[in-house]
Structure 1
Amino acid sequence: MRKLFFIYALTFICALGLSAKTNSFAFLTLPYSSQAAALGGKNVSYRSGDLNFSMQNPALLTDEMHKSLALNVTSYLADINFGSVVYCHNIDTMNFLSYGVQFINYGKFTERNERDEEMGSFSANDWAMYVSYGRRLSERWTAGATLKPVFSSYESYFSFALAVDLGVSYYKRKRIFHSALP
């Protein structure tokens, strides 16, 4: 019994350590529109015609977003600014494309050595560009996919990642029911 308890405890401790690095590129989770922020920072199911929601779930792209442009800039904490630009173009009444950029600028930092002498300054930035495709499967069902190349630049360090978002949305107009799986 003790051996079994020890194995379970060790497995649990190891699992906690594995989940520590799952929040890379956390700027992608910021609410880029005021409506998304008012809904708690996330909206994965509500279809309001707001193009900004397609950044969180590409299945929310609709034909009413054709030739829509959304610009967002937020002055965050200290010198941090973040924002986004999104544009939607309908291929036809069933297929939709969206292009966009998300960014966050952490401001300028003073570089100092171990003796606290000023060595210069540097900045830190994160960027994500993306292309989203949405398709109406039926009157109630839509699906979408997003491809996001993500870049980070902190002082002289750079990183790159490729992210993919997939989503499915169900909407029943008569009962005002929204459900989605991003």
Structure 2
Amino acid sequence: MLSLQPSFANSYLLRFFIYISVLLAVSGARAQTLGGSSVFNFLKLPNTPQLTALGGVNVSTLSNDVGMAFYNPSLLNKDMHTRVNLVFNDFYAGIRIYHLAWGYRSENLNTNFGGGIQYIDYGTLPQTDASGNQSGVFRPLDWVMQVSASRSYLNRWDYGATVKYIHSGYGIYRSNGLAIDFGVLYRDSAALFSASVLARNMGFQLKKYEGTDPDDIPFDLQAGITKRLRDAPFSFSITAQHLHQFDIRYNDTLYNSNNGIDNSGRKFTFDKLFRHIVLATQVHISEQLAFSFGYNHLRRKELNIDKTTNGLNGFSLGVEISLKKIQLQYSRAYYQNNTALNQFGLSLKLNEYFGLGKLGERMGW
């Protein structure tokens, strides 16, 4: 990204974002709960094939994929100028997920901007009463729309923030909310190293579902590092999630009791620690071809079925093919009993396909 000399405005904005993020992160951490008792959990879904292939959680991989900046605003950089990322997910049971992200660089403001939307269509479902009598159909939907901005500080630092509006509608039950993300990135191009800290989904419900109490938004505090080898085509990432809470292991006492599982006296220290970790690697075959692999231990443990073969649960892989003016992406992530999520992506730069004349010149198109 563009290196800037320190300025009063840059320093002031950075301190302001850090103060606000720490304040919201502390309040979010206090409210965080386990066992799926938060709303808008679709915010946890990876939005782009590269992120999915890297284990679904990654904050430090540098690329020109504007979809990665949708997840972590500090990754938003000038190489994403006029770039658009289009993604389609073939999810389970006919659920369709659509994603659009874009980037723009303003030289006058020394700022990178981005935005996008994630839209989840659950299909048409029967609407029934308490006795099971069908009275019609309805179409549940979830979506989030967001805008982001990032700037550089000194030679190796970047920081960015995202504001997102969240909407959920299940027939007559509707809810919406507001949240922000804030990330800080350190990058050393000479050492082929990058590291980032990200606070996600710091916010609240604006409107609760009818007949319910307000619920928490799925806040998450994440940190990660990425290192690329100088003499080999590999890069490795380690990302930690849910850093605000050590014990994220869900103890289902009813399930354990029904299945004769006795966990009394066991500490599960290693399991608790490793559930925070997401491992990933990329193989850079050439400038036109790269493969990605990831492993998410938390996803594997939460979706494993006891006393059955769980195969590749928690593992993911993907490929990216870069052509002259377009990038093609594909990822496959295994969730349960080797049932996988397939994700397809397309990335391109709009200014390489059409111009805007004098207006485009004034906009820096």
TM-score range relative to shorter protein: 0.7 to 0.9
Query: Residue deviations 1:108-164, cap 9 Å, x none?
Result: 110123443321001111111101001111331100000001000011111010010
SS of corresponding position for 2:145: strand
Matches for 1:23-172 after TM superposition, within 5 Å: 23-92=38-107, 94-172=110-188
Are the counterparts in 1 of residues 70 and 115 from structure 2 also a CA contact under 8 Å? no
Tell me which amino acid in the other structure corresponds to 1:181: V
Return the alpha-carbon distance in structure 2 between the equivalents of residues 40 and 23 of structure 1: 22
Tell me which amino acid in the other structure corresponds to 2:171: E
Tell me which amino acid in the other structure corresponds to 1:168: V
The structure in which a higher percent of residues are strand is 1
Structure 2 match to 1:176: 192
Identity of aligned residues (%): 32
Number of aligned pairs? 168
Change (3 A) 1:116 1:101: same
Q: Give 1:28 shift.
A: 1.3
Are the counterparts in 1 of residues 47 and 71 from structure 2 also a CA contact under 8 Å? no
Return the alpha-carbon distance in structure 1 between the equivalents of residues 62 and 169 of structure 2: 34
Superposed structure 1 runs of 4+ greater than 4 Å apart? 17-22
TM-score (norm 1): 0.85
Q: Give 1:18 shift.
A: 5.0
Change (3 A) 1:64 1:18: closer
**Unmatched segments (≥5 aa) in structure 1:** 1-14
- Aligned Cα RMSD in Å? 2.0
TM-score (norm 2): 0.44
**Unmatched segments (≥5 aa) in structure 2:** 1-29, 199-365
Return the alpha-carbon distance in structure 2 between the equivalents of residues 28 and 115 of structure 1: 32
SS of corresponding position for 2:52: helix
Change (3 A) 1:57 1:114: closer
Return the alpha-carbon distance in structure 2 between the equivalents of residues 22 and 98 of structure 1: 31
Query: Residue deviations 1:53-82, cap 9 Å, x none?
Result: 111110000011000011111010011111
